[in-house]
Each structure stands twice: as C-alpha cells, then as structure tokens.
C-alpha cells in the first residue's frame, strides 16, 4: 500500500462514521425544528409503501435518548469496520443495511420500525464473527473487545423489552453473520508461513530424514567458516 492509499484509508476510518453520526443528528434536528414526523418513513412490514423504510429506517429516530444511545456504538463499530475491513466496508454497510431492512420488513410486527439499531447489530455481528472465522489474532482480539463492550446487546435480539424493534436487531445480527462468511477471504486474512527453499532444505539431511531443531543447532555449532 502506497502512502496516498494509507492516507485515504486513515481518513475513511473516521470520515464515514463521523458523516453517518452527524447526519442522523442533523436529520433529527430538522425533524424537531420544523415539526416534521419522519417515523412513517420507517419499515412497515408487508406493506408496499412500507418498503421505503428499507432505505430510510437507519437514519430515523424517535427521540433524543434513542438517538444518543445509538450514536456511540454506531461510531465505534463503523470505525472498527473501516479500520480492519476497509476493502469490504462499504459493501457491508450498503448491502447489509438494505438486507437488514428487507428482512425486518418480512418478519417484523405491523408497526413502524425505525433507528440505526439494525445497522449497529449488523456491524457488531460482522466484526465479531469475521474475527473468529478468519482466525487472525488481531481480529480475534478485536472480536473479544467488541463482545466485552457490547456483549449485552445480544439479549435484545429477543422480545424482552416493550417498544423495541427486536426484529430489526435480529435481522441485522443475521445479516452480519451471513456477510462475515461471504467476505471471509476479503481484506485481512490469516497468513500461513511459507518456508523458503533454504529453510526447507535445512530441515532434512542428505538421506531425506527430518532434523529436529535442537540437533540442527548442534550441527551448526560444528561448522567452521
């Protein structure tokens, strides 16, 4: 990666999360300031007009508390996505967001479902399972940090709280898992050690017998240059 690409990648790590979070706050401000009600642009299951929510639902929030609770995990998870999975980050965000909304439209209760929670669960699931699937120590460490910070979120994919769209959470969680498998070979992957010809030859004697490392070290001691 050249220096320009490194700069572009570093910018995107914080630029996209910042744009998203600031954007949903600005939209909420416009809604309150001018007396609009964007809730009807959310997902309304099994209704043709409700399909518009597949696109819009991730930007609409019911109140300040709802918006604030989503903002911090949204920023952290987006930054994690662009930091470690930059190659597929935009695809995960767009395809995952659309599929999360569509799955919510299919399975949810007949009510307006709004909020960035579906995206948060999508990112949480993708980042966590990608680290486990790839078996890369840095990504596994990231997965453990994610589960430590937001592990309690898992309970909210179940109908345990009144007035919460657990269907949207579950949809995002499922789509994150699916995309983690689809993109498992994209971006950072576990590197297998490749022996050079010299390294490989030193592991065997002239008769093709394997030389254990401790014996090899003793043989090296006897060599005089």
Residue pLDDT tens, the chain, 225 long: 555 555 556 676 899 999 999 999 999 999 999 999 999 999 999 999 999 999 999 999 999 999 999 999 999 999 999 999 999 999 999 999 999 999 999 999 999 999 999 999 999 999 999 999 988 888 888 888 888 888 888 899 999 988 899 999 999 999 999 999 999 998 776 554 444 545 545 555 555 555 555 544 444 444 444
- Residue 131's CATH number: 1.20.1540.10
Position 87 in a domain? yes
Q: Would residue 201 count as lying in a domain?
A: no
Residue 223 resides in a domain: no
Distance of CA 75 to the CA centre of its chain: 11
The verdict on residue 218 lying in a domain is no
119 found inside a domain: yes
pTM beyond 0.85, yes or no: no
Range(s) of the domain holding residue 23 = 3-182
Count: domains in the chain? 1
Question: 195 in a domain, yes or no?
Answer: no
Burial (CB < 10 A; 0-12, 13-18, 19+), residue 69, is middle
193 belongs to a structural domain: no
Which helix (H) or strand (E) is 178 found in, with range? helix 166-182
Establish if 117 belongs to a structural domain. Answer: yes
**Measured on CA atoms in the order 54, 55, 58, 64, is the torsion positive or negative?**
negative
């Amino acid at each position: 990666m050249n220096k320009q690409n490194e700069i572009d990648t570093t910018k995107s790590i914080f630029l996209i999360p910042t744009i998203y979070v600031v954007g949903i706050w600005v939209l909420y401000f416009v809604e309150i300031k001018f007396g609009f009600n964007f809730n009807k642009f959310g997902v309304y299951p099994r209704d043709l007009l409700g399909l518009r929510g597949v696109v819009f639902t991730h930007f609409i929030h019911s109140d300040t508390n709802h918006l604030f609770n989503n903002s911090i995990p949204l920023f952290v998870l987006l930054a994690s996505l662009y930091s470690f999975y930059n190659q597929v980050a935009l695809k995960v965000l767009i395809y995952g967001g659309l599929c999360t909304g569509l799955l919510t439209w299919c399975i949810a209760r007949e009510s307006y479902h709004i909020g960035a929670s579906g995206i948060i669960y999508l990112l949480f699931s993708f980042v966590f399972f990608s680290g486990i699937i790839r078996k890369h120590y840095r990504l596994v460490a990231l997965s453990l940090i994610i589960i430590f910070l937001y592990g309690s979120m898992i309970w909210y994919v179940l109908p345990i709280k009144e007035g919460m769209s657990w269907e949207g959470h579950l949809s995002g969680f499922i789509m994150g898992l699916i995309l983690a498998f689809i993109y498992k070979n994209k971006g950072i992957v576990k590197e297998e050690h490749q022996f050079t010809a010299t390294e490989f030859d030193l592991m065997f004697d002239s008769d093709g017998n394997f030389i254990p490392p401790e014996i090899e070290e003793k043989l090296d001691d006897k060599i005089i240059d």
